[in-house]
Amino acid sequence: MPNNNNSVTTGLVAAGAFCAGSLLTAAFYQKQTTAPKKALLFPATEGASSSSPATPSIKYPEYDYEKDPQGSFLKVCEMLISELVTHELPLKYDLPPKETQWIKEMLDYNVKGGKMNRGMMVVDAGVAIFKQQNQGRSPSNTDLCQLAVLGWSIEWLQAWLLVADDIMDSSVTRRGQACWYKKLEHIWYIAINDAVTMEALVFKIMKKHLGQHSHYIQLVDLMQETTLQTEMGQLSDTLCDVLELKDLTPARWQWIVQYKTSYYSFYLSVAFAMTFFQIDNAQAYNAARDILVIMGIYFQAQDDYLDCFATSEQLGKVGTDIADKKCGWLFTKAYHELANPQQVAFLDQHYGKCKVGSEEEEQIKQLYRDLKLPQIYQEYEQSSYTKIMEMKNSAQHGAVLEQAGVPWEVFQLFLEKVYKRSK
């Protein structure tokens, strides 16, 4: 017969050992989680020889968010360009002076001059989120400048996409000046390399300024994912050149603009700010995406409308959608939903086959007016605004975002920037 006292003793010893082991394990993991985070290293791409000068410490400009948000945002761009052309490229990559000067002039010409809504919205969203999380306190100067770096990452993404887009569309002007490839004249093809160079520089500035951020990998993943989504939308848009007009449907238009416009022009700005302030709630990102995709689709319909009916002085460019056979909101509405057989035949004969400023182009614009598309657009604009605002009180959207620390103010700010714009 076994000795019960021995069994009890053995059990107590085993239990004690187990508890001690558990406590030691817990202490080990507690130490692991509370220990300072090690610096993230990039040994495979450091690339600096022992004789190379040390990378200078980052000195951010003063960011006056309250009194001069636009001027402060522009200062960060100047800082980024200066870092690249005074240290990064000539010293770390041995880039010769002529090439370095080319990069500076190319960046100055292409990344500035826009409305900067996408980039500044990262800062606006970040400030609103931080205040929500911190009882109304304002973020630090470093936080503001790093949010602005993320904002300029989007603006530089926008810049290289426009350089490439202008070549593919044979555009003439952009932001009130000659398209970059047009400015280069007989060496226009260098603009193709400039576009992909700007894309590479986006990741360079992100690494320099956010490489040690706790969510750096998520920030880079977000930029890479959004870039791919945008390029897929651009592919679908470009393939319209070889499709028949009957294939340019409202459904195709919506898919194109969701991928080509909504993700990088709207969702990325807010998702960057959420990620920067370490929001990890997937439902909150889903809610933000739902709202911002609708906003982006509305924005592109607005862009299509303005391309046709706004003046070149308003737009800062010459509208070319009719001549370029674009799968646009006006065309898809007219061709598939509103036009009679005679009007469809006229579009078949001239849409995408006339020149900018030609009589045929003006006749197509008049056809749109005859179909009351300007009035239909106004109704669509109002319904889009109403639909977005209704999501504020939705349990799946506004409530989820509020709980995650993202106030509705973020979306209200974005909507106010684009609602009923005229340029």
Q: Measuring CA to CA, how many Å separate 289 from each of 91, 284, 329?
A: 41, 9, 22
Write 101-105 long-range contacts (CB < 8 A, 24+).
103/197
Q: Which of 45-59, 104-118, 138-152, 354-368 has the lowest mean pLDDT?
A: 45-59
Instruction: Say if CB 269 and CB 121 are below 8 A apart.
Output: yes
Which pTM does this prediction carry?
A: 0.87
% pLDDT > 90, the chain? 81
Which position has the token pair 């009589």?
A: 359
* pLDDT above 80: residue 36: no
pLDDT band at 10 (very low <50, low <70, confident <90, very high): very low
Instruction: Say if CB 191 and CB 181 are below 8 A apart.
Output: yes
In the prediction, which pLDDT does 17 show? Answer: 40
pLDDT band at 9 (very low <50, low <70, confident <90, very high): very low
In the prediction, which pLDDT does 369 show? Answer: 98
Which amino acid would we find at residue 44? A
**What are the phi and psi torsion angles at 32 (to 5°)?**
-65, -40
pLDDT, mean of residues 306-330: 92
**What are the phi and psi torsion angles at 265 (to 5°)?**
-90, -20
In the prediction, which pLDDT does 184 show? Answer: 97
**What are the phi and psi torsion angles at 213 (to 5°)?**
-70, 145
pLDDT, mean of residues 147-170: 96
Instruction: Say if CB 78 and CB 145 are below 8 A apart.
Output: no
Q: Measuring CA to CA, how many Å separate 110 from each of 11, 114, 194, 264, 383?
A: 75, 9, 10, 18, 35
Strand stretches in 152-262, DSSP E: 173-174, 177-178
Q: What confidence tens digit (pLDDT) does each residue in 23-32 have?
A: 343 343 343 3
Task: Tell me whether residue 304 is exposed, middle or buried, using C-beta atoms within 10 angstroms of its C-beta: 0 to 12, 13 to 18, 19 or more.
Answer: buried
Burial 372-382 (b: 16+ CB within 10 A, else e): ebeebbeebbe
Q: How many residues does the chain have?
A: 423
Q: Measuring CA to CA, how many Å separate 141 from each of 84, 126, 132, 324, 358?
A: 22, 12, 18, 45, 52
Q: What is the DSSP letter of 395?
A: T
Q: Higher pLDDT residue, 33 or 306?
A: 306
In the prediction, which pLDDT does 326 show? Answer: 96
Mean pLDDT score of the chain: 90
In the prediction, which pLDDT does 55 show? Answer: 67
* pLDDT above 70: residue 18: no
C-alpha of 33 from chain center: 33
pLDDT, mean of residues 305-325: 91
Which amino acid would we find at residue 374? P
pLDDT, mean of residues 42-47: 82
pLDDT, mean of residues 218-245: 97
> Rounded CA gap, 287 and 308, in Å?
33
Residue 23, SS3? helix
In the prediction, which pLDDT does 54 show? Answer: 61
First to last CA, the chain: 94
Kindly report the number of other CB atoms within 10 A of residue 198's CB atom: 23
Instruction: Say if CB 260 and CB 233 are below 8 A apart.
Output: yes
Q: What is the DSSP letter of 53?
A: P
Q: Which of 30-34, 150-154, 228-232, 262-266 has the lowest mean pLDDT?
A: 30-34
> Rounded CA gap, 206 and 156, in Å?
11
* pLDDT above 90: residue 35: no
Bin 36: left if φ > 0, else alpha if -120 < ψ < 50, else beta: beta
In the prediction, which pLDDT does 254 show? Answer: 97
